[in-house]
A and B are shown apart, each in its own frame.
Chain A
Amino acid sequence: MATIFKVLFLFLLATVAVTSCSKDVPVDEDGLLITERQECYVSNFELVGSDFVTVRPAGTAAAIDTTAQTILVTVLFGTDLKNVYPQFTLANDCKLDPKITGKVDFSDLAPKTYTVISGNRKIKKPYAVTVKYQ
């Protein structure tokens, strides 16, 4: 019986030792995984109104220029630009700064800058978002 307990104890000890040696997963200040990826761009952009329906005219996607780092979106006549919600689709593992936490006021029609940060958190690309009426 004592032999069994000894074996069990050693096995537990070994498990604890192995677990404690495992490498910590790197995370950033937001608790997001830092990866090896270097891609850093916006792949899609959407703007929705207070009713969460797109404010773009049908068939006109936002013009994203990943070289010039600009986004130009045309919105419908009568869009209430004080209360719109931008939605970014980013390359894998990227994040956005500043974060979008709610509605955004685009009513001054001036470009707003959002910075895309790559998965390895080493590349930062600011995108200028401009809104214009149809």
Chain B
Amino acid sequence: MPLKNKFANYIFALLSLLILVESCKKEEYSIPDPVNQLSNDCIKRTLGPNIVSLPIEFAYAMAVPKSKGKLVSAQVEASIAGAAATYLENNSYSTNSSGQDAAVRVGTPSVNDGNKTKVTFNVDTNAATLRYFYVIPEEARGKTVSFIFSATSSDGATVTYNMGPYNISKMDIVRNLKVTSADSSYISIADMTVYNRNNVAANAGKIDLVYLYQPTPATFTHALVSPAADKQYLPGITLPAGVNRNTKIRKVFNLQDYNLARINVGIYIDDRDFQEINLTDAPNYAIGLRAEAGTWVETADGKYRAYIFLNSVNANGSAVISMLRYPLQ
């Protein structure tokens, strides 16, 4: 073997050995330096779309070393003032041995002042996690909202934490409307309410759907039917004058939106679902509905799309429904 080749082989072997040794080297762990000043952190606890009238929940944590003093106050500033029910909890939570949230009172009840919500601590504490419930106001519909969380300590230090921006949905929500086949069965999407025989005449032009229950045929049962549907889907029903809208409706099953169903299923209907769904060839009736079934709806005037969820049904001819509505215009 020529000397040059032999030399190259030795170099190659040496390099391989070096790489092998280097790759096996253990990285030493070093203890991180403790934070020695006021610090904070924040998470958003609610998932899904942010709907007007519902809260967005945050958990805001803050701590200061004992040597530096104690916590004095915590504050949240929203870019759009929250609804009156907005508050910052004056309890700090920890998890007890049973895995439950245990509350400890740390301050006075929060005060809303314009865009700001503030809690002043009245106990000597170095660390706290406060929950903030921002109830989305009507003014925020279709806009974005941001938040600045801040905390101050007795040594004069202040820390801030920015959250957002978050899109606020254009959707409206209404829950637990009782409908009965015998009386309260006229549903208005525009008003998001149910009218009964006594007050339907005054609102005839707004009725989009009629709820009815028919025990026979067995496949009929609970139904949401457009007033303009074929008479075979409105058996024995005499509609008041002016109730004649032709609403498109499509049955869905297994779409238990979290906000409507309030069961532990992580499914959310968002603005985009309403924007993208195509109901052009949907029928104007939905029969054979069951509990936890739903229906996509589009009003005859093209103003709204909605999702009506059946929370429960009763064989005596009644049901409890909840509704999400999205304005198209």
Instruction: Give residues in A with beta carbon < 8 Å to B.
Output: 1-2, 49-53, 57, 76-78, 80, 82-83, 105, 134
Contact = CB atoms under 8 A, between A and B. Distances in A.
Contacts of A105: 281
Contacts, number: 42
Interface in B276-310: 281-283, 285, 287-288, 293
Interface residues of B, number: 18
Contacts of B283: 80, 82-83
B1 A51 contact: no
Nearest to B219: A76
Given A1-B9, A49-B251, A78 B281 contact: no
Nearest to A50: B250
Interface in B210-233: 217, 219-220, 233
B173 interface: no
Given A1-B1, A2-B1, A78-B219, A51 B251 contact: yes
Contact of A57 (B219, B250, B251): B219
A77 B250 contact: no
B252 A77 contact: no
Contact of A51 (B233, B281, B285, B293): B293
A10 to B, nearest CB: 20
A96 B258 CA distance: 39
Contact of B252 (A50, A76, A78, A82): A50
A78 B9 contact: no
A109 to B, nearest CB: 16
Interface string B233-261: 10000000000000000111110000000
Given A1-B9, A78-B287, A78-B288, A83 B281 contact: yes
A2 B220 CA distance: 85
